[in-house]
A and B are shown apart, each in its own frame.
Chain A
Amino acid sequence: EDQVTQSPEALRLQEGESSSLNCSYTVSGLRGLFWYRQDPGKGPEFLFTLYSAGEEKEKERLKATLTKKESFLHITAPKPEDSATYLCAVQAGNFNKFYFGSGTKLNVKP
């Protein structure tokens, strides 16, 4: 069964304390892995798309990496404004379906 699992469910960091979020997947025929940020009550904000193992993408304090089984979202020296829920999704299979993880709720304390 195609599945996407994110961990941890919640993460509390002090400002400046770097960490990583994990997105592991078991799908047939990976087409792409997407990372989003979502603030409460708002639509997801697209962050990155990764397509092949070994690929890395960076944006400000965020860096996403991809292996054959999982993706990591590394947050370097986070700030309180990085607090949000981070979602990953996998596009896979012959029918290009999307499968979402349940998200990691990040709280960065000043």
Chain B
Amino acid sequence: DSGVTQTPKHLITATGQRVTLRCSPRSGDLSVYWYQQSLDQGLQFLIHYYNGEERAKGNILERFSAQQFPDLHSELNLSSLELGDSALYFCASSVWGGNRETQYFGPGTRLLVL
């Protein structure tokens, strides 16, 4: 158990709908990363937040948005869903120690768009 929690574990929805995925980082970790993993594109970096502020953005679609709240949990919002958005969505939190970053991944949310 990494200490990072994600809800829900599974989500089935229809095209055109909107969903929200939630991530709670390990206690005290200020960084949250979001990733998408699909069979055809592998693992892709979406976005990184640090203490409530956006720090880096990957190839995140305009239909997707994220935020990190004052209690450090983060939400990833996916709207106008398409079949191709079906994937595993992971979040990770990280901590710096000894000038080195260590990441801890959550168990993921499996999204199926029908």
With A44-B90, A46-B102, A49-B102: A96-B107 Cβ-Cβ less than 8 Å: no
Q: Give the contacting residue for B103; candidates A46, A102, A103; CB below 8 A.
A: A46
Instruction: Write out the residue numbers on chain A whose beta carbons fall within 8 Å of the beta carbon of B25.
Output: none
Chain A residues with CB below 8 A from B62, complex form: none
CB-CB contacts of A79-98 with B at 8 A, as 1s and 0s?
Answer: 00000000101000001111
Q: Which of B33-52 contact A (CB under 8 A)?
A: 33, 35, 42-45, 48
Partner of A45, one of B43, B58, B101, B105: B105
Could you tell me how many residues of chain B have their Cβ less than 8 Å away from some Cβ of chain A?
Answer: 25
Contact between chains at B45 and A32 (CB < 8 Å): no
User: Which residues from A are CB-within-8-Å of B33?
Assistant: 98
List the B side residues contacting A42 at CB < 8 Å. Answer: 107-108
A15 to B80, CA, bound (A): 48
- Give the residues in chain A near B92, CB-CB below 8 Å: 43-44, 46
Q: Which of A's residues lie within 8 Å of B, judged by CB?
A: 32, 34, 36, 42-46, 49, 51, 87, 89, 95-103
Q: How many A-B residue pairs have CB under 8 A?
A: 55
Q: Is the CB of B100 within 8 A of A46?
A: no
Residue of A nearest to B99 (CB): A51
User: Which residues of B pack against A, CB within 8 Å?
Assistant: 2, 4, 33, 35, 42-45, 48, 55-58, 90, 92, 99-108
A101 CA to B37 CA, complexed, in Å: 12
**What are the nearest 7 A-B pairs in CB distance?**
A43-B105, A98-B45, A96-B56, A100-B43, A46-B103, A102-B42, A44-B105
Q: Is A95 in contact with B101, judged by CB distance below 8 angstroms?
A: no
6 interchain pairs, CB-CB under 8 A:
A36-B105, A43-B108, A46-B105, A49-B102, A89-B45, A97-B56
The answer to whether B101 and A99 touch across the interface, beta carbons within 8 angstroms, is: no
Q: Which residues from chain B contact A36 at a C-beta distance below 8 Å? A: 105
